[in-house]
Structure 1
Amino acid sequence: MSQKVMKTTGWVLTLVLALLFTMSAFLKLTQNETALAQAAAIGIGASTYQLIGVIEVISLILFIVPRTGVLGSLLLIAYMGGAIVTHLEHQQPIAMAVAVQVLLWITAALRFPELRQRLLPTRQAA
């Protein structure tokens, strides 16, 4: 895959993830009734849920900005790890959270060559 295709694909996936996380954070920050009811069902209060939304927005901004993208990627990946654990703890389906997690890893690998090189080192000819 050429560098240009990888870069374009990385940014398209970044846009998709940004829209997804923006919607998620918006529901938390606006205290959507349905979202609050779901959070309350697993023991998360309204103020905690709003704080989670703030953390999500900060991580997303760091993810979008190229200079802080690696840090933002790692924060969103950790965030999704927590979401997966929470879903498992409350016997809820995890397929969507795992899919987002995988998409985050793929996007990070496409956008950040230094991260890709660390995670998937290529063999050098001797």
Structure 2
Amino acid sequence: METPPEISKKVPKKMFWTGKVISILLSLFLLLDAIMKIVKAAPSVEGSVELGYPENTVIPMGVTLLLCTVVYLIPRTSVLGAILLTGYLGGATATHFRVEQPVYFSVIFGVLIWLGVYLCDERLRQLIPFRKSEPYRKLP
């Protein structure tokens, strides 16, 4: 099966590297957070307990975050990883709403995760194109 010509275009280098840098920086932070949860570092455990999670849930949350981030880092599965991380960050957003804390951090992370994939993947840009608005046309 042949790749359609509009999808086989090369991604501009600046766009590609901008997306990669965003994805790598976010992934480093998420991996650090996951590892801190897995090794039960005091700040991570204390933060989770303050948010209402029992201490025995910290390691499973860390493992979940680690797996989602690894899937995100693999180019062939980056879209699936972005979907999984969106779910994870959605839970973080809901938690912060529940305890009446600011939610901007998890929301911004979610947007940046998708921006990193969007800039690197021409197929995703084909699926979700940003276009200039066209004037309203009447149907015949």
Q: TM-score range by the shorter chain?
A: 0.7 to 0.9
What does residue 69 of structure 1 align with? 78
What does residue 92 of structure 2 align with? 83
Deviation digits for residues 101-122 of structure 1 (CA, Å, limit 9, x no counterpart)? 1111211211222222222266
Residue 55 of structure 1 pairs with residue 64 of structure 2: yes
- Aligned-CA RMSD value: 1.7
Q: Secondary structure at the match of 2:102?
A: coil
Deviation digits for residues 5-28 of structure 1 (CA, Å, limit 9, x no counterpart)? 111111111110111101111211
- Count how many residue pairs are aligned between Structure 1 and Structure 2: 122
What are the within-5 Å matches in structure 2 for residues 1-126 of structure 1? Answer: 3-120=12-129
CA distance in 1, matches of 2:123, 2:56: 38
1:59–1:72 contact (8 Å) kept in structure 2: yes
Q: Point out the structure with the larger helix share.
A: 1
TM-score by length of 2: 0.80
Identity %: 30
Deviation at 1:58, TM superposition (A): 0.6
Instruction: Give structure 2 stretches of 5+ with no counterpart.
Output: 1-10, 133-140
TM-score by length of 1: 0.88
CA distance in 2, matches of 1:65, 1:99: 22
1:26–1:53 contact (8 Å) kept in structure 2: yes
Q: Which has the higher contact order (CA 8 A, sep 6+)?
A: 2
Return structure 1 stretches of 4+ with deviation > 6 angstroms.
Answer: none
Amino acid at match of 1:30: V
Amino acid at match of 2:26: L
Say which one has the larger Rg. 2
